[in-house]
Amino acid sequence: MKGAIVIKGEHLWRSTVVTIGSQQADAITVLPSMNGIIAEFDFVDPPAEGRELMELVVWTSEGEDTANEMIEIKGTQECKQAKPGQ
Name the average pLDDT for the chain.
76
Q: Which helix H or strand E contains 4, and what residues bound it? A: strand 3-8
Q: Higher-confidence residue: 61 or 29?
A: 29
**How would residue 79 be classed by pLDDT, with cut points 50, 70 and 90?**
very low
Q: Could you give the CA distance from residue 28 to residue 5 in angstroms, rounded to a whole number?
A: 10
pLDDT value of position 18: 92
User: Three-state SS string across 9-67, please?
Assistant: CCCHHHCCEEEECCEECCEEEECCCCCEEEEEECCCCCCCCCCCEECEEEEECCEEEEE
Q: Could you give the CA distance from residue 39 to residue 37 in angstroms, rounded to a whole number?
A: 6
User: pLDDT digit string (tens) for 18-34?
Assistant: 998 888 999 999 999 88
Indicate the domain borders of the chain.
Answer: 3-76
